[in-house]
Chains A and B, each alone.
Chain A
Amino acid sequence: MTKLIPQSEQELADLVRAADGPVRIVGGGTRSAEQLAGRQELSTTSLSGITLYEPGALTLVAQAGTPVGEIEAVLRAENQMLAFEPYDLSDVTRVKGASTIGGVVATNASGARRVQAGAARDFLLGVRFVDGQGQVLKNGGRVMKNVTGYDLVKLMAGSWGTLGVLSEVSLKVLPMPEHVMTVGIVGLSDENAVAAMSAALGSPFDVTGAVHAPACIEEEPFTMVRIEGFENSVRYRAEKLKDLLGRFGEVITSENAEGWKVMRDMVTFSQSARGPGGAFWQLSLKPSDAAPIMAGISDQFDVQFCYDWGGGRVWVWAGEDVDQEALHGALQDNAARVGGHATLIHSETALAVPKFQPLSPALSRLTQGLRQKFDPRGILNPGLME
């Protein structure tokens, strides 16, 4: 089947209107959607380019198919950044391609700084998109504060293309920190690591990342807390955190920020556990629930995992020898029990499971109702969020 590659927003609208069956929306092709295999592909790669960049207003507008790398390079030249740290999981998924900004927004992909600065959805100021009937629609704009009408901007972020095909996004950007330091502790149990990260995140020292790599992925478990800003301030806060966390173990500080990229992109997994047939989940939990749940899961399944967001997010990886469907069920059951959600981010073989945490009947009805309005024919990435 030929790929549909619209060259303009108008052509995108025309193609969606003319579509006579379900389409699979593809940006850089870095996110798997095996349940959509065989569907007509609709690629946004030709809708590419930065439309507007105002460093003095901290705003950038780009067409949805613009590669994230291109945006980050332009921002770097002005000492600015996408503060929500979109991750690149291509090392884990072994899918080669360049993530697009539309894909990042559509999946609300956010990294470690989410605990302090917010997620992709928090930096999204406005969207243009084509709905399931081929209408070009817009919501929000390019200003920092906007409560003019309903916030469909948030709704589109994280809707995985199921409500519309993004054609343009406008984002708030932030200055790049002048200096970065990491405060680390080696050898903590998961429970103590989450407690240490909670202490750091509950301190006034403006922690911008808190991750823990447990014994299942590192010989020596390590816990990292990040501080950013002007150099003197960073040094001061690093010392303060060293004192604060001293009760958990020996605290070391480092000026090397490379570990944060490794953790963001899960390169650790890809090095130690990479292989065919793997599957990969994201859990969002109350931080104090994370360690007990993962202790129970690792009793039953041979999994690898690590903690982000101070324990609020757990990445879980399982190889092909694990009963992935049973594991999936256990992750979602646990999330449902304590409050939270587990999402299958990637699997190399199709699993007969609901990829997203099942919703309560009421929320499911609302969700279906919204899909019916945005995409009455049910042609945009159908089933992808189920």
Chain B
Amino acid sequence: MQMPTPDQGIVARKDHIVARLEAVLPRGAVVHDPIQTRAYECDALTAYKCPPLCAVLPASTDEVAAVMRICHEEGVPVVPRGAGTSLAGGALPTADSVILGVARLNDVLETDYDNRFIQVQSGRTNLSVTGAVEEDGFFYAPDPSSQLACAIAGNIAMNSGGAHCLKYGVTTNNLLGVTMVMADGEVVQIGGAYLDAGGLDLLGLICGSEGQLGIVTEATLRILAKPEGARPVLVGFDSNEVAGHCVSDIIKSGILPVAIEFMDRPCIRATEAFAGAGYPDCEALLIIEVEGSDAEIDDQLARIVEIAKRHNPVEVRESNSAEESAAIWLGRKSAFGAMGQINDYMCLDGTIPVNELPLVLRRISEMSKDYGLDVGNVFHAGDGNMHPLILFDANKPGDLEKCEALGADILTLCVEVGGCLTGEHGVGVEKRDLMAKQYGPEDLDIQMAVKDVFDPKWLLNPAKVFPLEASEGRRG
């Protein structure tokens, strides 16, 4: 992974820059001791590491603005960081950059049930947004797997999804407004507690821009009434292909499940060994969850089971209670942990048209054999968002490179069948150099031109999203 050469002039001015930042922030909000800055050397993509120049932890929009003004004057790159759960290296620092962490921005600013929104500071964790409203019967819908830890700021930066976005959409569909600090420290408001922000859809542009257009400090989010109940059914199949067809048939039928999750044999085996969820021994299984009253759930599950039975399932397990639901979800929820027990893994995030699932799963299994690396698949099948997990041994020379090459081949396949490189994790550094597979030079150029408008000096998260050679002339 190539990163830009750090600006030695900035590194040499570290003491001066730290002193300026300390002058505008409370005690303890500037982390510059080389031992402590190592806490910020990577995010959840741990293969790449680099301690930053320093890290700052502002607690208000004003403090963020003060930091940005200083960094702008000093020409110092700023890498925004939510909770550091990015799987794409979205928060990977460079040695000449300041990490701007939003962890101290975690207040709820306003809750309004009549108008169905909550306004929070952006460092608040995803799950604690729901936590603030669930006693009153509401929830915040996007639910990335990391929701216990991940911050709303990171969700907005990556336009995060989750298992339930088949019904409720991803972050951009649930975001009403932001307060954002621009690269030069100016504070802007986009949207608010009303639908469609007005003017050009800058809100839609900000969401998913990977922290490259501004630092979101506050967010107005749509909240929804909690459904009366939810229950899953687990269906096992003796081939991936058949499971893929079943997904397509369910989607066509008019049922709108909140989630359709897919696991293949390597994942089923690993989770059984790890969590003992009692899954059937089969090639592929689907977990399909529906919501509503008890009677509504029974009705929808019956329709799903009827469709599934046309595909000769090896097992159908309908949940009839909260305990049975938990048992069905147990394996799925521990899948990543289980794979991590076996070996190091790289988690891909390509998305494909749902009807291409059988073909893509077959090709992945062939490629896995060719490379001699195991691949497990556990993903959101309802919207075609694949998560192939490539197992490798980080201590074995050449294995990481082999894994990266296989990953690139799989993502290229996703693009070839009409899909994309990343459905919910973001490009970060991980998929940066594959962008040309999906976009032509002009398509990338217009995106970079957008960054030119918001951040003319390219100080915000500069080495992400775009291939380095494409952004070279702009990064100064």
Contacts and interface: CB of A to CB of B under 8 A. Distances in A.
Nearest to B382: A144
A209 B116 CA distance: 15
Given A147-B427, A153-B204, A369-B454, 11 more contacts: A115-B195, A135-B446, A139-B447, A143-B423, A155-B450, A175-B256, A195-B114, A339-B192, A363-B188, A370-B450, A373-B450
B200 A155 contact: yes
Given A57-B248, A151-B207, A312 B195 contact: yes
A152 to B, nearest CB: 7
A55 interface: yes
A58 interface: yes
17 contacts: A118-B173, A136-B442, A138-B440, A143-B352, A144-B166, A147-B422, A150-B450, A155-B450, A159-B200, A175-B256, A202-B114, A202-B116, A284-B198, A286-B192, A359-B199, A367-B199, A374-B446
Contacts of B418: 141-143
B186 interface: yes
B421 to A, nearest CB: 5
Interface string A247-289: 0000000000000000000000000000000000000111110
B452 interface: yes
A203 interface: yes
Contacts of A236: 293, 295-296
B225 to A, nearest CB: 5
A232 interface: yes
A154 B208 CA distance: 11
Interface in A360-376: 360, 362-363, 366-367, 369-370, 372-374
Interface string B449-473: 1111110000000000100000000
Contacts of A135: 442, 446
Q: Which 6 A-B pairs have the closest CB atoms?
A: A154-B204, A341-B198, A145-B423, A144-B383, A369-B453, A175-B254
Interface in A198-248: 198, 201-204, 206, 230, 232-233, 236
A200 B187 CA distance: 36
Interface string B410-423: 00000000111111
A146 B196 contact: no
A366 B186 CA distance: 12
Contacts of A155: 200-202, 204-205, 450
A312 B194 contact: yes
B266 interface: no
B451 to A, nearest CB: 8
A150 B193 contact: no
A363 B383 contact: no
Nearest to B214: A366
A74 B330 CA distance: 42
B161 interface: yes
Interface residues of A, number: 83
A324 interface: no
Interface string A311-353: 0110000000000000000000000000111010000000000
Interface of A: 54-59, 78-79, 108, 114-115, 118-119, 121-122, 131, 135-139, 141-155, 157-159, 162-163, 174-178, 195, 198, 201-204, 206, 230, 232-233, 236, 284-288, 309, 312-313, 339-341, 343, 356-357, 359-360, 362-363, 366-367, 369-370, 372-374, 385
A145 B385 contact: yes
Interface residues of B, number: 94
Interface string B140-181: 000000000000000000110100011001101100000000
B383 A145 contact: yes
A144 B418 CA distance: 11
A74 B259 CA distance: 27
A356 B196 CA distance: 13
Contact of B225 (A139, A203, A232, A313): A203
A221 to B, nearest CB: 20
Contact of A287 (B115, B165, B166, B203): B115
B101 interface: no
A359 B443 CA distance: 28
Contacts of A136: 442
A285 B114 CA distance: 13
A32 to B, nearest CB: 19
Contacts of B449: 373-374
Given A137-B446, A145-B161, A202-B116, A233 B254 contact: no
